[in-house]
A and B are shown apart, each in its own frame.
Chain A
Amino acid sequence: MKRIVISMLILSTLAISTGCVQVKPWERDLLARRDMAWDPDPVEAKREAHIYFSKESSMPGGSGGGGGCGCN
């Protein structure tokens, strides 16, 4: 019996600790704002990604490595 209670306590703690909150469809007001986007400025994000792969010769997917010139 003691083991069941402990298991239930662990399960409850795990379920609560996930911190999951369901955002209702009509509560996406703030999430829909442009500044809440992963890349609020797509042009700026593209430019930075280009500099990154040119300098590092690695990138998070999308194109091949470069030699540092930024021309590919």
Chain B
Amino acid sequence: MMAFRALVLFATLMICLPSATASALEAGDRAPAFAAPSLGGEGMVELGKYRGKVVYLDFWASWCGPCLIAIPEIERMRSEFPEDQFQIIAINLDQAEKKALRFLEKNPIGYPSASDPKGRLPEKFGVDTMPTSYLIDRDGVIRYVHRGFSRGDGSRLREEIRALLRTPKLGKK
């Protein structure tokens, strides 16, 4: 009987092994600090630099259809909120940087985008859908996770951003 139990446990482990991945970060988790090279440019994109602001962090790629719907909408949102309180950061996951740059030539964005072709950052955040975006509060805590993107999602995001902008930084209450 003992041997049978050991065998069942072993079989379960073998089945579960390939699907073992880092758990996805959810609302309430602290956003991991990162610094990644800027897409097509010099310098680094750092999350820590924007502490004190509400940050919208977007993982995107030029081959991902919904990401391409999201980007013009995100760009519109950028101008709708005060620059000193709200910041958008994008992380591009194209393996060939030039594809992302080609897309941005046609659809310019006014916010920084990092390049992470090896996918270290989505691994860290546990991204399980493309695109995934995180709304991070002034204290660096994830408050909302948006998976996928379809037309009309912008209004929901705007509501979340507005609510977060109304919330003061911890310690300033």
Residues of A within 8 A of B (CB): 1, 3-4, 7-8, 11-12, 14-15, 20-22, 24-30, 32-33
Contact B6 A27 (CB under 8 A): no
Contact B95 A15 (CB under 8 A): no
- Distance between A18 CB and nearest chain B CB, rounded to angstroms: 8
Chain B residues closer than 8 Å to A21, beta-carbon distance: 18
- Distance between B131 CB and nearest chain A CB, rounded to angstroms: 9
Given A7-B7, A28-B130, CB of A22 within 8 Å of CB of B64: no
Chain A residues closer than 8 Å to B19, beta-carbon distance: 22
Chain B residues closer than 8 Å to A26, beta-carbon distance: 59, 61, 93, 119, 122, 127, 130
CB of B128 closer than 8 Å to a CB of A: yes
Q: How many residues of B contact A (CB 8 A)?
A: 27
Chain B 1-33, CB-CB to A under 8 Å as 1, else 0, gives: 001001100110011011101000000000000
18 A-B pairs within 8 Å (CB atoms) are namely A1-B3, A4-B7, A11-B11, A12-B14, A15-B15, A15-B18, A22-B18, A22-B19, A24-B21, A24-B119, A24-B122, A24-B123, A25-B129, A26-B59, A28-B64, A29-B61, A29-B94, A32-B63
Given A15-B17, A22-B19, A25-B130, CB of A8 within 8 Å of CB of B7: yes
Bound CA span A37–B152, Å? 29
Chain B residues closer than 8 Å to A20, beta-carbon distance: 18
The list of the 4 closest CB pairs from A to B, nearest first, reads A32-B63, A15-B14, A26-B93, A25-B130
- Residues in B110-128 with C-beta less than 8 Å from chain A: 119, 122-123, 127-128
Chain A residues closer than 8 Å to B61, beta-carbon distance: 26, 29
Bound CA span A8–B14, Å? 10
Closest to B19 in A: A22
Chain B residues closer than 8 Å to A11, beta-carbon distance: 7, 10-11, 14
List 13 other contacts, CB 8 Å, given A24-B21, A29-B94: A3-B3, A4-B7, A8-B7, A20-B18, A24-B122, A24-B123, A24-B127, A25-B122, A26-B59, A28-B63, A29-B63, A29-B96, A33-B63
- Distance between A45 CB and nearest chain B CB, rounded to angstroms: 21
Closest to A30 in B: B95
